[in-house]
Amino acid sequence: PASAPAGPVADGSAVVVGGGGGLKPTISLEPPTGTRDFYPPEMRVRSWLFAHFREVARQFAFQEYDAPVLEHDELYRRKAGEEITAQMYNFTDKDGHAVTLRPEMTPSLARMVLALGGKALLPLKWTSLPQCWRYEAVQRGRKREHYQWNMDIFGERSICAELELLAAIVAFFTRVGITHEDVGLRVNSRGVLHAVLSSHGIGGEQFAPVCVIVDKLDKIGHDAVVAELVGKGIPAPVGAAIVRTLSLKSLDELRALMGGNGEAADAIAELGRLFELAQAYGIGEWLQFDASVVRGLAYYTGVVFEGFDRSGELRAICGGGRYDRLLSVYGAPSEVPACGFGFGDCVVMELLAAKGKMPQLPHTVQFVVVPFDEAMRAPALAVAARLRSAGYSVDTLLEPTKKVKAAFSYADRVGGQRVVFVAPDEWQRGCVRIKDLRGHEQRAAAEGGEGGEGADGSSKQFDVPFDGLL
């Protein structure tokens, strides 16, 4: 504001950047299109969310890894018509290399596991919290980056791997106060789709593009899906049969339609086993079979799943599935079974806000050390150092002040819980004066006074020997 002083003042009030006249930035104050700044309040929420992700990963015995945000373009060359590969944030670098900001983490993970070769001790359970990117046309006005919690298991062919992943997702929701009445997990298997295509003599190379098209059913509708499948050489009656399997509402219906043996029957039996074991894990109420779940990534080969909010207001909260062929596609000498999920940081925030579960995370500091004057600055630093050596969070008032009000004003602003005054008289006696600010607003309200004084007139302040400050 124009009235704000140009420089620091000793009354503890905030100095406003750019005060003393209109701000005339010589740079853009906005981050690049589609990206976000995380100011401290938003960063506290993000750190809170990531801490829950990491704590669940720890409880499920996953190990954290990371990879460069920049990858070779070739890692994502899948030609299955996916949106994710059509919107890559890719470019040619100064060495002429075709590179891209990663649109997802799974290919980087597959590359790392393949690089380990025989040294990869399977099963392997790894987690990461990568920032992932896309380049969308500006008019869509959508974000171009998000953080996506990844959890993956390599080396386990049975649905016990999917069960760990689903249980981890449930554990996260439970930790943040979201219940199975708020959200659910839709589960299906691409094995059924693969069986339908095989039964019509349609080869494996068409499987991924068909899945990508069928995943658009909700968006473009039945006829458009069948038409796009025809465009991929899938006769309309086969396309209609595929779409029909997606509308089935139960495993029994699916079993009845697909018959009791062969690839479809195996996929259905696996799903039945998954739902049965889910009960033992205590997550049965969260899961439901949904034949329409396909997910839009080309490399899924088996069970697929997604988290959804039961109000129907939000987009998918998370999604994942089995991808047993990805390492083979990258050249692995034999098939390495794998499954995993991605859980973005945006939709879950909308969900928490809608459910009133957003955390209140004020900035707090345990001690604010205040030198009485310049002569007390050195002792004040010694006091701060001693408190920090004991593990406390300590802010030091950089501008000495004799005004208790100024000290309180600053301490209030930075969320200080106690103020440590370092003044000559107490220091002569080897002491500092500590004033407890916690709850003083309540005391002030109760007494209608300035606060800082106890109900019995005693102030919540006490002198403490410097040597006893631990």
Residues engaged in binding ligand 4JN (CB under 6 A): 84, 103-104, 132-134, 143-146
Q: How far is the CB of 10 from ligand 4JN (least distance, A)?
A: 46
User: Is 395 strand, coil or helix?
Assistant: strand
Query: Is the N-terminal amide bond of 103 cis, ω within 30° of 0?
Result: no
One-character DSSP codes across 164-224: HHHHHHHHHHHHTT--TTTEEEEEEEHHHHHHHHHHTT--GGGHHHHHHHHTTHHHHHHHH
Q: How far is the CB of 291 from ligand 4JN (least distance, A)?
A: 25
Using CB atoms within 10 Å of the CB of residue 70, give its burial: 0 to 12 exposed, 13 to 18 middle, 19+ buried: middle
Q: How far is the CB of 133 from ligand 4JN (least distance, A)?
A: 5
Nearer to ligand 4JN by Cβ, of 45 and 84: the residue is 84
Neighbours of 311 (CB within 10 A): 11
Nearer to ligand 4JN by Cβ, of 36 and 180: the residue is 36
Tokens of 24: 């005339």
Nearer to ligand 4JN by Cβ, of 133 and 408: the residue is 133
Q: How far is the CB of 279 from ligand 4JN (least distance, A)?
A: 33
Q: How far apart are CA 195 and CA 187, in angstroms?
A: 17
Are the C-beta atoms of 421 and 456 separated by less than 8 Å?
no
Nearer to ligand 4JN by Cβ, of 87 and 366: the residue is 87
Cα separations (Å) of 461 from 56, 371, 455? Answer: 42, 16, 13
Q: How far apart are CA 351 and CA 206, in angstroms?
A: 36
Q: How far is the CB of 146 from ligand 4JN (least distance, A)?
A: 4
Backbone angles phi, psi at 357, to 5 degrees: -115, 15
Q: How far apart are CA 183 and CA 65, in angstroms?
A: 29
Q: How far is the CB of 342 from ligand 4JN (least distance, A)?
A: 8
Q: How far is the CB of 327 from ligand 4JN (least distance, A)?
A: 21
Q: How far is CA 365 from the centre of its chain?
A: 26
Nearer to ligand 4JN by Cβ, of 125 and 146: the residue is 146
Backbone angles phi, psi at 249, to 5 degrees: -105, -5
Nearer to ligand 4JN by Cβ, of 144 and 322: the residue is 144
Q: How far is the CB of 148 from ligand 4JN (least distance, A)?
A: 7
Q: How far apart are CA 240 and CA 186, in angstroms?
A: 22
Nearer to ligand 4JN by Cβ, of 12 and 344: the residue is 344
Nearer to ligand 4JN by Cβ, of 298 and 369: the residue is 298
Return all residues near 174 (Cβ < 8 A) that are at least 6 apart: none
Nearer to ligand 4JN by Cβ, of 106 and 189: the residue is 106
265-296 in b/e form (b: 16+ CB < 10 A) is bebbebbeebbebbeeeebeebbbbbbbbbbb
Alpha-carbon radius of gyration of the chain: 30
Return all residues near 402 (Cβ < 8 A) that are at least 6 apart: 372, 373
Nearer to ligand 4JN by Cβ, of 145 and 164: the residue is 145
User: Is 287 strand, coil or helix?
Assistant: strand
Query: Any idea which residue has 């630093």 for tokens?
Result: 381
Nearer to ligand 4JN by Cβ, of 91 and 462: the residue is 91
